[in-house]
Amino acid sequence: MLSVIKIGGNVIDNPQALHQFLADFAALPSPKILVHGGGKIATQIAKRLGIETVMVEGRRITDKAMLEVVTMVYGGLVNKQLVATLQALSCNAIGLTGADGGVIRSQKRAVANIDYGFVGDVEEVNNTLIQHFLTANLVPIFAPLTFDKEGNMLNTNADTQAQEVAVAMSVAMEVNLVYCFEKNGVLLNADDDDSVIPTLTPTQFAQYKADGIINKGMIPKLDNAFKALSTGVKRVTICHASQLREAIEQGNAGTVLML
């Protein structure tokens, strides 16, 4: 079974938590793939470069200057530091953006009410190439960046990118998708880390949304997660980064999605 792991930006920002997570990831059996978020460092570096960060509904507006920042920070600084750290942990990591080998091609998002700028919606994942990397005992580490046919890099949501990679790979093999972040799972009460919902169906999700119990950024995350489960991924878990090995080895960490 292939493990596709998404690690969120908040964990990237915490060196101690990140190092423990990477040690756990390195210890997982192959085949495995990591998709990482960006973290606050892009915003910090943009600020130091005098570039203003504009967020709309939790999403970064990516003009030309911000695209250069996220290409540098996600594709260079964060991705290569993860790769070098994993190499030192004897995990044969290879850092990739969607542009590399043309592995994840997107379309620049059309302007509707909001112009998100250089933001990509995934159109095509080359699962044959990813399979080729896995067969060579490589461990793909994806930055949240894709590209289009016009030669643009495109800022891409890491949750969505993980879901798209997991679904594309599920055509050829069983896939276990784990979203790791800084909370213990989907919570009944955002202020109570012990209020984890152990299993979640689409019907329950709809009810929790209607009741306002699940809200904000958790909604698009769960939309991505349920989409993966309904389009071929065998198992989807949302859990704390420190629960990665439990999630993979025992399958009972955090919130497990069910159809």
Positions in the binding site for its own copies (CB under 8 A): 45, 48-50, 68, 71-77, 79-81, 83-85, 87-89, 92-97, 99-102, 129, 132, 136, 138, 145, 147, 149-153
- Sequence-ordered alpha helix ranges (H) in 93-239: 127-135, 158-169, 202-210, 218-230
Which CB sits closer to its own copies, 80 or 245?
A: 80
Kindly state the DSSP code that residue 194 receives in the 8-state scheme. T
Say which residue the tokens 């930006």 belong to: 9
Which CB sits closer to its own copies, 76 or 232?
A: 76
CA dihedral of residues 229, 231, 232, 237 (deg, nearest 10): -20
What is the Cα–Cα distance from 219 to 208, expressed in whole angstroms? 10
Write down the least CB distance from residue 98 to its own copies, Å. 9
Which CB sits closer to its own copies, 152 or 195?
A: 152
Which CB sits closer to its own copies, 98 or 185?
A: 98
Which CB sits closer to its own copies, 48 or 211?
A: 48
What is the Cα–Cα distance from 83 to 118, expressed in whole angstroms? 25
Name the CA radius of gyration of the chain, rounded: 17
Write down the least CB distance from residue 51 to its own copies, Å. 10
Around 176, how many Cα atoms within 13 Å sit in the side-chain half-sphere? 20
**DSSP string of 12-50, one letter each residue:** HT-HHHHHHHHHHHHHSPSSEEEEE---THHHHHHHHTT
Task: Locate 122 and state its tokens.
Answer: 């995934």
Which CB sits closer to its own copies, 10 or 92?
A: 92
Write down the least CB distance from residue 186 to its own copies, Å. 33
Task: Locate 59 and state its tokens.
Answer: 């999403």
Write down the least CB distance from residue 12 to its own copies, Å. 14
Write down the least CB distance from residue 46 to its own copies, Å. 11
Which CB sits closer to its own copies, 117 or 254?
A: 117
Write down the least CB distance from residue 55 to its own copies, Å. 21
> At 61, which amino acid appears?
I
Write down the least CB distance from residue 63 to its own copies, Å. 15
What is the Cα–Cα distance from 252 to 119, expressed in whole angstroms? 35
Which CB sits closer to its own copies, 96 or 196?
A: 96
Write down the least CB distance from residue 79 to its own copies, Å. 7
Contact 143, 95 (CB under 8 A): yes
Contact 38, 73 (CB under 8 A): yes
